[in-house]
């Protein structure tokens, strides 16, 4: 019985450490640009969002966003994110490589309070894990995903609409 209690206590401790505050800055393992980094420059349109329950392990049906959103990545490492509801945010970004097959951009907002999405039926606003920064994972050609699925949150899916020369 002591072994079971000890194992359970250890599991709870490790789970608690894994759920610690994420208010710190995200630090990639290696800050090297992915091979296709120049192909990420351009305009990206939010196409849908999708909730995922980690308990059920399956994503819900994709839903249309309550606003039109465009995320512009400029060649000078600046970005502009704007929505049809009047929201506008700016900042800088870097290309990051977190591990094999996990690359994308890390966007740092000039105004950290603007790193959010507001969804119908959600109290308040869904902020990024690290307030003021957003990681958009490059999941395939012409696709970026901002995901909070690990904490039973939504994923926001973007499609590239304009490629920069």
Name the band, by pLDDT with cuts 50, 70 and 90, for residue 151: low
Count of structural domains within the chain: 1
Question: Facing residues of 162 across strands?
Answer: 43
Has residue 98 been placed in a domain? yes
Does residue 16 lie within any of the structural domains? no
What residue has token string 């490059």? 138
* pTM of the predicted model as reported, rounded to 2 decimal places: 0.70
Q: Is the model more confident about 133 or about 4?
A: 133
Burial of 5 (0-12, 13-18, 19+ CB in 10 A): exposed
Quote the mean pLDDT of the chain.
75
Q: In terms of residue numbers, what domain contains 32?
A: 28-163
φ, ψ of residue 140 in degrees (nearest 5): 170, 175
- Judge whether 116 lies within some domain: yes
pLDDT confidence of residue 114 = 87
Looking at the domain assignment, is residue 20 inside a domain? no
Q: Is residue 70 part of a domain?
A: yes
62 falls within a domain: yes
- Name the nearest CA neighbour of 105 among 138, 147, 139, 70: 138
**Element of type H or E holding 7:** helix 2-18
Q: Tell me what pLDDT residue 76 has.
A: 96
Q: Is residue 10 part of a domain?
A: no
pLDDT band per the 50, 70, 90 thresholds, residue 54: low
14: pLDDT strictly greater than 70 = no
113-128 pLDDT, tens per residue? 888 877 776 766 666 6
| Per-residue pLDDT reduced to its tens digit, 78-121 | 999 999 999 999 999 999 988 887 889 999 999 998 888 777 76
Give the pLDDT score at 80. 97
CATH code where residue 63 lies: 2.40.128
Q: Is residue 17 part of a domain?
A: no
Is the pLDDT reported for residue 35 higher than 50?
no
Q: What is the pLDDT of residue 22?
A: 39
């Amino acid at each position: 019985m002591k072994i079971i209690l000890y194992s359970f206590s250890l599991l709870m401790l490790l789970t608690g450490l894994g759920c610690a505050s994420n208010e710190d800055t995200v630090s990639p393992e290696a800050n090297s640009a992915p091979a296709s980094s120049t192909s990420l420059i351009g305009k990206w349109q939010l196409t849908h969002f999708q909730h995922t329950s980690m308990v059920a392990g399956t994503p819900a049906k994709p839903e249309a966003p309550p606003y039109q959103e465009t995320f512009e990545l400029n060649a000078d490492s600046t970005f502009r994110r704007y929505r049809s509801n009047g929201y506008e945010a700016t900042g800088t970004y870097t290309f990051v490589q977190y591990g094999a097959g996990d690359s994308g951009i890390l966007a740092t907002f000039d105004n950290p309070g603007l790193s959010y999405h507001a969804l119908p039926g959600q109290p308040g606003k869904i902020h990024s894990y690290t307030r003021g920064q957003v990681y958009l994972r490059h999941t395939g050609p012409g696709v970026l995903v901002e995901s909070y699925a690990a904490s039973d949150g939504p994923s926001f899916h973007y499609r590239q609409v304009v490629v920069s020369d």
